[in-house]
Structure formats: structure tokens, C-alpha cells
Amino acid sequence: MKRIHTLVIGAGQAGLATSHCLTERAIPHVVLERGEVANSWKTERWDSLRLLTPNWQSRLPGHCSEGADPNGFMALPDVIRLLCTYADASKAPVETGVCVAALTAEGLGYRVETDKGTWRADHVVIASGACNIASVPAFSDALPPHIAQLTPIDYKTPAQLRTGGVLVVGGSATGVQLAAELRRAGHDVILSTGEHIRMPRHYRGRDVQWWMDVTGLHETPVSEVDDIDRVRRLPSLQLTGDMSRQFTDLNSLQAHGVEITGRLAVVQDGVAKFSGALANHCALSDLKMNRLLDTFDAWAETSAQRDLPPPERFDRTRVPTMPRVSLDLRSGRIATVIWATGYRPDHGWIDLPVFDRKGRLVHDQGSIAPGLHVLGLPFMRRRNSALIDGVGRDARFIADRIDRARHTKAA
């Protein structure tokens, strides 16, 4: 059995940031990675993906790489390059191609079994990501067999799809981006959406992420939120990493010929049935967007920003008079269904009683149990905990906690 003080599981932005902070504090550690550095980015994302945060907002501990265009958005190869460069620059002790099979408690520490041997560590940091598994509704089994089903983890490019219509299920950033891309590629596209959040890419001449940064929204701590469960479940904003498109919302999709309808409720006897609540979901989305824009305007007013164009309000979401409530999937119109219905982390290898009744990891600001930590989950400590730009702060926090525990033990 190999022994190490701290074991970090996962070599994406969260694991690498943690490693950097542990090295700064001279804490002996190893990072275990099932594939290669930036594995999820390399293997589990679609080709055209760009970050939703501008280049300047990719600050990792001890590393700032905004590239030639600070206001641009990294494409997938840029993100992979960023993380590989970061791993090299921080001399992160990554062991690649090591798959963790089980995490159990042992003595005052933990035992980590892998396909390349067993480790014993005082501290374990779970940095294996928040988007390992695509959530797909149980009734996906009831789809007619001739329909191809894809998740955003399998989907790479429109060329992969057979000809014919596509039903994209889900109206968060992933769903709207894939619907737009498939429509541009010439497919007949229907987008089914429940709750979603519409947002302009840029507002009053500045990127929406600039606004969220300067107004302090990104840094909102868990303690300032009244219902953290609800906030953690919020869908991602309907954005694309492209300044030339102000909206990737339902209006822009409809303008390009995408049909929109309500949340897919069930598939029975080959017929997809959609919720009739689309109008309210659109109203809620417009209200949420406008509330956020009000917050931005109020900040601009009190902080006397002089060089900004005046406030602006956008047309409401156009809701079809009679959105469809059913779709016969046997009719031949739809050849492919894409489940953009969210992701969840894969914590199946954690063999400890640390989950709630819904199978979610229970943690307090990333602390699960003495010596057991997690990071990179949505709104873990702050609103930007799951962003490349936010994970560094959590990594420092966790590294400090591990450091303190070490000194307490020594004393």
C-alpha cells in the first residue's frame, strides 16, 4: 500500500488548483486522474464548445492566462491547453490513467483503492467534477427503437446525426447551444424546455460575466442565500461564448426556425407529452433576467459608472399561441432525441455514509468529514465555485484547512 498525506482525485481545473495550493503549502500529495489531464474536456464535451466566461475570467491560483484577446472565449482546445500548461507550470504530481474504484475510511484517514494499487491518505480531496453523468429521464426507455438517443457527453458534432428532425430536451446553456447548432446544420429542431434562464451575452457594452464580477454576484457566499438547494439546482444561463450573438434564447432560436415547446413530461405509447406550462416558464425567465439587469443598473447608478451606455430592456420571450403538447415519435419527423437534461457528478465509488436521501454528497462548504473534502460543485461555497475562475478560491480554502489540520496534529 502506498501512503501519502493528501490524495487529490481528478486532474481538471479543481484538482490542479488544489495541487497548486498544496504545493505552495509544502503538503505532500498526489493527484490521481482516470484519464489524462483535463480528461472531461478532452473526451466528454462537444467540438464547438466555448467557455461561457471570457478569457480574463480564467484565473487559477498562481496562473493568469488571458491570451491575446482577454474578452474572447476559449474554445475546447484552448481550455485543454490552459489546463495542461497549468499542470506543467505547477509541476502537479499527477498520476494519469489511474481509476479510483473505492474510497473507504481507515483509521483516522482514508483508503483509496484504484486499478493500479491501494493508497492510504490522511486527507482526500474529491475533485472529480460535477458533470460526469448526463441525467436522462427514466422514460427514455419508452422511446421507439428507431430513434437515436444522445446525451451532451456523446454528442460531438452535427455530422454525427442522421438526417431528420431532432428533439432537444432541455433549455439550459447546453440545450439552447445544441439546438442552435443543429438548426444551423439544417435539421428540423424542436426544443422542449421547462424552467430556464434567459440572459444577454453583453449588456450596456459589457459582458454579462463582467457585470456578475463587478457587482459581486459571482462571489455571493452560501450564507447569503436563503434556499441553497434551490440555487444549486438552477439551470445554467442561456449563453454562448460568442460576443457576436447577444442572445441564444428562445426568441433567437425561434427566429432561426426552431420550434419551442414545454417541458417533456413523459413518453407513452410512442407519444411524447409536453407540459402546458411553457408560457409561465418563459414569464419566469423574463422576470429573472430583468431582476438581474435591475441589479446591474442599480450598481452602475450607485458606483457612478460614467462610460456605460444607458440601461436597456429587451422584448419579452415570444411564446407560440398554441405550443404543442404532444408529438408522435413514431411519425418519422424525429430521428434523434438529445437529452440536455442536466449532469450530475459520479460519486458511486465513495463507499461512505455521506449522501442525502437523493444521493447527493452532503458537505459544509466543501467539508464532508474530517479529512474528506470536495470542490468544483455548483455553488459549493460561492456562486462561482464550479467555474474555472471560482474554483481557485475554494482550493486555497481547502488547502488552508488541510494545512491547519496538519499543524494541529503536529502540536
- Which residues contribute to the site for other proteins (CB under 8 A)? 262, 265-266, 268, 273, 275-277, 280, 283-284, 287, 290, 322, 357
Q: Which is nearer to other proteins, 269 or 307 (CB)?
A: 269
Q: Least separation, in Å, of the C-beta of 321 and other proteins?
A: 8
Q: At what angle do helices 13-24 and 388-410 cross, to 10 degrees?
A: 40
Q: Least separation, in Å, of the C-beta of 407 and other proteins?
A: 37
Q: Which is nearer to other proteins, 322 or 411 (CB)?
A: 322
Q: Least separation, in Å, of the C-beta of 266 and other proteins?
A: 6
Q: Which is nearer to other proteins, 322 or 410 (CB)?
A: 322
Q: Least separation, in Å, of the C-beta of 377 and other proteins?
A: 20
Q: Which is nearer to other proteins, 93 or 311 (CB)?
A: 311
Q: How far out from the chain centre does Cα 354 lie?
A: 22
Nearest to 103 by CA among 361, 379, 392: 361
Distances (CA, A) of 300 to 111, 226, 291, 305, 311: 52, 25, 14, 5, 10
Max Cα-Cα span within the chain: 72
Q: Which is nearer to other proteins, 280 or 331 (CB)?
A: 280
Q: Least separation, in Å, of the C-beta of 280 and other proteins?
A: 4
Q: Which is nearer to other proteins, 182 or 329 (CB)?
A: 329
Task: Determine the 3-state secondary structure of 289 from DSSP.
Answer: helix
CA distance 137 to 28: 42
CA distance 85 to 89: 6
CA distance 57 to 40: 20
CA distance 198 to 201: 10
Q: Least separation, in Å, of the C-beta of 347 and other proteins?
A: 21
Q: Which is nearer to other proteins, 195 or 219 (CB)?
A: 195
Please name the residue that has the C-alpha cell 464548445: 49
Q: Least separation, in Å, of the C-beta of 290 and other proteins?
A: 7
Torsion angle, alpha carbons of 30, 32, 33, 38, to 10: -30
Task: Determine the 3-state secondary structure of 201 from DSSP.
Answer: coil
Q: Least separation, in Å, of the C-beta of 283 and other proteins?
A: 5
- Which helix (H) or strand (E) segment holds residue 265: the answer is strand 264-268
Measured in degrees and rounded to the nearest 5, phi and psi for residue 184 equal: -60, -30
* Number of other residues whose CB lies within 10 A of the CB of residue 85: 13
Q: Which three cell numbers stand for residue 263?
A: 417541458
Q: Least separation, in Å, of the C-beta of 323 and other proteins?
A: 11
Task: Determine the 3-state secondary structure of 116 from DSSP.
Answer: coil
Q: Least separation, in Å, of the C-beta of 15 and other proteins?
A: 32
Task: Determine the 3-state secondary structure of 155 from DSSP.
Answer: coil
CA distance 55 to 327: 41
Measured in degrees and rounded to the nearest 5, phi and psi for residue 292 equal: -65, -40
Q: Which is nearer to other proteins, 1 or 287 (CB)?
A: 287
Given a contact cutoff of 8 angstroms between Cβ atoms, the answer to whether 155 and 148 are in contact is no
Q: Which three cell numbers stand for residue 368?
A: 464532508
Distances (CA, A) of 196 to 51, 170, 289, 341: 19, 8, 10, 11
Q: Which is nearer to other proteins, 185 or 266 (CB)?
A: 266
Q: Which is nearer to other proteins, 320 or 348 (CB)?
A: 320
